[in-house]
Structure 1
Amino acid sequence: MMELPDYCQLWDETYTRALEGKLSPGDTEDSFWSNQENVDRFVKHLLNKKGGRIEDNIASMHIPPGSTVLDIGAGPGTLAVPLASAGCRVTTIEPSIPMGEAMEHYRQHMQAPPISEIRKRWENVTPQEAGLHDYVIASRSLMFGNLRENMLKMGTKKLIEAALEAAMEKGAAVEYINIAKLNFKGCLGCNECKKDQTKFCCLKDDMSDLYAKLNEADVILLGSPVFSAI
């Protein structure tokens, strides 16, 4: 029987190779984005820009003035500053101190309103710190290593737990199942499930234990991180 690859491991390996092609010996991802020479290059590009991709991206988002916007991986303010200038209330998540300083320089240059900043890697930001926003944007910032570990510690679990707690207060019997810790095999296209619909899938993995739970449940609440990158 064909075994599916560990996609988290494939992600991590691909991510590592991508970094190796970008980083100098001895560098880390954090040091790369905090390297003043790299930051200065980004700022120079912003200050010398003559229209084009950035403006097109912002226009395509159709974010109305007055909206609250969370910009993940804001860098030197490539999107955050123009959005603030357009009347949006912007909060940024950017771990690099030099990038944050560069964004402030760019903001002042553009005479944009103040921007709230969260100085952390985005996968370490709690829902309480991030707050609620009308729009969340991310540009080239959704890559990180240790995929399985980081996905487990992000905020979706906390949101699900809050919903389950509310259901229990109403008298519901609930069960939380973290499928990130389970092992599922891919469909083989054998059609065994269609030959006898009283039987479950012929593959014997962790899904076998879930079929009865799914059949018995009155309500199934699914939670998954959702990313929107431009």
Structure 2
Amino acid sequence: MDENTIDWNKVWKNQMLKNIESKCAVECARVWDNKESATQYWNATQNNKEQTQQTIEGLALTPDSRILDIGAGPGTLTIPLSTQAMHVTAVEPSEGMAGVLQNNIAEYEADNITCVQKRWEDVNVEQDLEGPYDVVIAS
């Protein structure tokens, strides 16, 4: 790797280690392990689609786009992106959010979404992902 290139994966891992080492650290994904909380979050995003639409409009998408959505949650971006792209890979670690995401994939009949239920730090790029990707989103 070029010495002037930022290794964002390394930066992320270092920041997560600092968070874990702090005395008041709470693993983010655990907040959403409860499917009821995840459903409430999904419903709230459906009541405010303006932000989602603005985010999507800011992306350079084509019908051939392949998207990686890290921290996909219940599918707030994943579901609408799947209607505009060839494929979306959703990485979501929490059980509740991943369950709501799977329900939404079925409800919206989005057969071009692959889910990886792991923390980003635990994803094996060669084994878990179906790259290359044209757009990467990290929430």
Which of the five TM-score ranges fits, normalised by the shorter chain? Answer: 0.7 to 0.9
Residues 60-209 of structure 1: matches in 2 within 5 Å? Answer: 60-128=58-126, 129-140=128-139
SS, match of residue 113 in structure 1: coil
Which structure exhibits the higher relative contact order, with contacts defined as CA atoms closer than 8 Å and separated by 6 or more residues? 2
Superposed CA deviations along residues 134-192 of structure 1, whole A, max 9, x for unmatched, are 3242333xxxxxxxxxxxxxxxxxxxxxxxxxxxxxxxxxxxxxxxxxxxxxxxxxxxx
Change (3 A) 1:15 1:79: farther
**Does 2:31 correspond to 1:36?**
no
Q: Shift in Å at residue 15 of structure 1?
A: 8.5
Report the TM-score when normalising by structure 1: 0.46
Aligned residues of 1:85 and 1:111 also touching (Cα < 8 A): no
Q: Shift in Å at residue 13 of structure 1?
A: 5.1
Q: Shift in Å at residue 117 of structure 1?
A: 1.1
Match of 2:47 in 1: 48
Identity, % of aligned positions: 27
Aligned residues of 1:72 and 1:136 also touching (Cα < 8 A): no
Please list every run of 5 or more consecutive structure 1 residues that lacks an aligned counterpart in the other structure.
1-7, 141-230
CA distance in 1, matches of 2:124, 2:92: 14
Aligned partner of 1:125: which letter?
A: V
Match of 1:183 in 2: none
Change (3 A) 1:68 1:12: same
SS, match of residue 69 in structure 2: strand
Change (3 A) 1:13 1:45: closer
Aligned residues of 1:43 and 1:106 also touching (Cα < 8 A): no
Change (3 A) 1:14 1:127: closer
Match of 2:8 in 1: none
Match of 1:12 in 2: 18
CA distance in 2, matches of 1:52, 1:15: 37
Aligned residues of 2:67 and 2:136 also touching (Cα < 8 A): yes
Q: Shift in Å at residue 41 of structure 1?
A: 1.7
CA distance in 2, matches of 1:29, 1:75: 11
Aligned partner of 1:42: which letter?
A: Y
Whose strand proportion is higher, 1 or 2? 2
Superposed CA deviations along residues 57-88 of structure 1, whole A, max 9, x for unmatched, are 11111211121111111111111111111233
Report the TM-score when normalising by structure 2: 0.72
Aligned residues of 1:68 and 1:88 also touching (Cα < 8 A): yes
CA RMSD of aligned residues (A): 2.8
SS, match of residue 18 in structure 2: helix
Q: Shift in Å at residue 54 of structure 1?
A: 0.6
Q: Shift in Å at residue 108 of structure 1?
A: 3.5
Match of 2:7 in 1: none
CA distance in 2, matches of 1:61, 1:134: 13
Residues paired across the two proteins, number: 125
Change (3 A) 1:48 1:15: farther
